[in-house]
Amino acid sequence: MSHDASAPVYGSAVTKVEPFGVDHIPDNERHGKPSSQFFVWFAAGLNFPIILLGFSAAWFGLSFVTAATAIVIGAAVGSLLMAVMSRMGVRLGVPQQIQARGPLGFFGNFLPVAYINVFAGIGWAAVTVILGGKAFAELTHLPFWLCAGLLTAIQLVVAIYGYNMINYLQRVLTYVLTPLFLLITVVAVVRGGSFFHADPHASGYIGSTGGWITFGGWFLSFLVAWAPFASDYSRYLPDTPEVVSRTAWYTGLGNFVTICWLGVLGVIVGGSATSSDSITALHQLAGPFAVPALLAVGLSALAQNFLNVYGGAISVQTLKIPVSRAQAVTVICLLAYAISLWGESGTEAKFKVFLNLTAYFIAPFAAVLLLDFYLGGRSDPSRIAELYDRRRVLDWGFVAWAGGVAASVPFWQSSFYTGPFSKAFPGAGDLSMFVAAGAGAVLYLLTYRLRPLWVREGVTPAEAGAQSPTAVTGA
């Protein structure tokens, strides 16, 4: 009995474990609709950390209008970035982490992926487990370690099943979470909402301009942190001009709506919060509607962590660590769970430090990938094989990325470390992410036409260990 070579191995099966890792997705496996990206990112954005960020507007002494405009602009820029990078996944059919091998080189990509993707995937998973576990513990009166463990177990199983299961559950969670968060919105505004004015005597006041930049930068950072994973959830879509365009629109819209909605909600209710713990504050604010409110926060942890764990596992495979995706998922979940037990207290402060540190490193990474796609010719599918060629050890994109990070250090503004520029000019706000992206972009433009830094000459693709990008065994 002959086998039809054009028949998909995976297709659209939801209950089948995804057989692909960091491989190029062949045409016969391309499936789905662009609208799937709206549900993936809308559900991921229905998450309490965004409300938590909005709480800080009053601390900065910003007025409601000033804070709202900062959120809208930050969300708009971040959503545009996500839209473009999701579009890249449809065009190339490979994860974002693999795409970075183009400008950085096969091994030059290891350090940024190890920090940006693996570290960020584990860290974000831990932050979300903490908030979700706290919500379920508050709701059920069960111990935090048990609630966090159950959340971790669910996301582990789903991430092992992979792409189709995640897409299906994100759609389901969109329909479940939307009415719950609408209820939170109405109840929170009615019971504790306030439209406050600017307060130059607020404890975190650094000037209206600096506060506006830092506050809006947090919401941009939230989406910048997703950027290295954007293509992971669009790479199976059919590569046609219409699908490419519509994918960008759906991705951007899904991110923009939730960031603006929940960010502004956080601003409205943050001024009246009476507890320093955000989950406790939500419980108090929701009053008789605390059960659906806490349920929404708990379930939303799953919507975000499906992506964190899956993207982190793909990143581990990008590093050529000899583990399967299931093994990588298991390790990431265990580490995230252990970190969540350590970080249960003081979540808000740790979350903001982590948000800053990831954005400082991811911003130049995203800038280099975008420029390489549009100016470096990486949008050409005929060059996909280069991404799997180990002879391309190191390229100038690594210098651009590292230079962008280094240039931003004097501008860092965090409780972890404050750079000399920020110490001297605190009223300027946190400019680190913008400096990092700008410096990385300039360095890329100065070097992208140069010969690669390190290519293993005289070595055949087979000797170098390069594989066909269409192989399903991993690369």
Check residue 401 and give its pLDDT.
98
Helix (H) or strand (E) run with residue 299 in it:
helix 290-318
- Taking the CA atoms of 318, 363, 239 and 306 in sequence, report the sign of the dihedral they define: positive
Least confident of 82-91, 158-167, 278-287, 310-319: 278-287
Check residue 285 and give its pLDDT.
73
Q: Which fold has domain 27-359?
A: Hydantoin permease (1.10.4160)
Tell the burial category of 238 from Cβ atoms under 10 Å away from its Cβ (0-12, 13-18, 19+).
Answer: middle
| Amino acid at position 395, single letter | D
pLDDT reading at 213 higher than 60: yes
Q: Are 268 and 153 in contact (CB under 8 A)?
A: no
pLDDT reading at 277 higher than 70: no
Average pLDDT value for the chain:
90
Map residue 424 onto helix, strand or coil.
helix
pLDDT band at residue 325 using 50, 70 and 90 as cut-offs: very high
Helix (H) or strand (E) run with residue 49 in it:
helix 48-54
Check residue 2 and give its pLDDT.
37
Give CA–CA dist 458/165, Å, rounded. Answer: 44
Mean pLDDT of 29-51: 94
pLDDT tens for each residue of 113-161: 887 788 888 988 998 899 899 999 988 999 999 999 999 999 999 999 9
Q: Are 23 and 472 in contact (CB under 8 A)?
A: yes
Check residue 196 and give its pLDDT.
77
H helices of 142-240, in order, are 144-161, 163-192, 208-224
Exposed e or buried b for every residue in 8-30, given b needs 16+ CB within 10 A?
eebeeeeeeebebbbbbbbeebb
Give CA–CA dist 434/362, Å, rounded. Answer: 11
Provide, rounded to the nearest whole percent, the portion of the chain with pLDDT above 70: 92
pLDDT tens for each residue of 354-376: 788 889 999 999 999 999 999 99
Mean pLDDT of 101-119: 90
Q: Is the pTM of this model over 0.85?
A: yes
Map residue 236 onto helix, strand or coil.
coil
Helix (H) or strand (E) run with residue 81 in it:
helix 64-92
Check residue 475 and give its pLDDT.
41
Check residue 33 and give its pLDDT.
97
Q: Domain limits of the chain?
A: 27-359
Say which residue, 3 or 228, is predicted with more confidence.
228
- Taking the CA atoms of 466, 112, 439 and 86 in sequence, report the sign of the dihedral they define: positive
Least confident of 94-108, 196-210, 226-240, 422-436: 196-210
pLDDT tens for each residue of 330-353: 999 999 999 999 877 666 666 777
pLDDT tens for each residue of 42-92: 999 998 878 888 888 988 999 999 999 999 999 999 999 999 999 999 999
Give CA–CA dist 330/208, Å, rounded. Answer: 45
Check residue 353 and give its pLDDT.
75
Check residue 471 and give its pLDDT.
46
Helix (H) or strand (E) run with residue 226 in it:
none
Map residue 392 onto helix, strand or coil.
strand
pLDDT tens for each residue of 225-260: 999 999 999 999 999 999 999 999 999 999 999 999
Check residue 141 and give its pLDDT.
92
Q: List residues bridging with 418 in a β-sheet.
A: 413
- Collect all residues with Cβ–Cβ distance below 8 Å to 198 and sequence separation of at least 6: 61, 62, 63, 66, 208
Check residue 349 and give its pLDDT.
67
